[in-house]
Chains A and B, each alone.
Chain A
């Protein structure tokens, strides 16, 4: 493989990983934008999506649908995973965050952390501590472009991620609910005085963000071939780094941040000892927070009490 092929290959990998991070980061950024809370449980919601995906996909595979109705199978798998996690997201919001909306930030953070621990251990108890294998539905067929091998699965996943992000952008800018969401994020009291139902808006945010995370979870499962109850943690950190890097609260920022983190990680793993690649992500996160906490595309956030 020559250098162009190598670079192209790594670029595809980076875009793939970056879109996954971006999808997860969107969940953080939307929730943070609207209630200024780090949803620690978001990583677990992502994992829950991956598990629902594997459960549904395995069942459909046994029923022979993968061969007979390939596209329908994918729609069902993604649809169910996203729908369930959307409801799970609302449940988390209702149980753990809503009662604390007027409390100190420390209480809300601790409650979110509690939810995260609870969900991750719940999944461990129900799904076991070991990897759960994802049925490989895409096969190993690959397309060669300039010597780089790109699998069908990769292409599908990248396209789906892009489609989801475009859909989100349209939703937020074109629909009534999307506009209500943005208004609430920018000035909650004013939004209420204009007749926007905050509870409903927040609930919708807690459906969309986790649903995107769930889609990312299924994608990770399809691509890496396995899921584990604790995989949410590392993805959470990286997606969070992406959200911060892009500017928390900013939707395009999350997408950009996801891509950059993907590039950094793939680049590092390609040329430098890969054992240290996670250290790199953490370092990037900390450096961004220290040097430019408002991120690349974010508004400068005012200092708020803990």
Chain B
């Protein structure tokens, strides 16, 4: 099983960040830090990703996007919140449009603090995420998915079919839920 965790593909999404953390995330891929030596690929495609790297807080506009990206990722998957904004809302916490950290919309597995989070700690966060990924994979093999559905977290929890099926329909439900709450 050790081999499996050697291939974490990352999806990077920029919520309401100041772009400080995003620059650090990209710095992880440069020759200086070279996250690819751990097999990390910055895919840009949720359907290929194992690790969802979110930077910045969540606001009304990006809330649905984050949910949809999370839904589109196949199991097992891990969410890493990068930067203090993604963890709690950070300096933007008190502003009128910020809902808070990433965990207000989707379940977060690893929190990477810092403003901006340093590349070293981001890589550490990814490595921690890989460990969680392994646990989830084992759980998935035994037939139980430890995943929380996003609806369990969002305020207006709607009735939801199996998370593994009809993901498009599901994304729509999520989007509608978002509109209603506006």
B is a partner of A: no
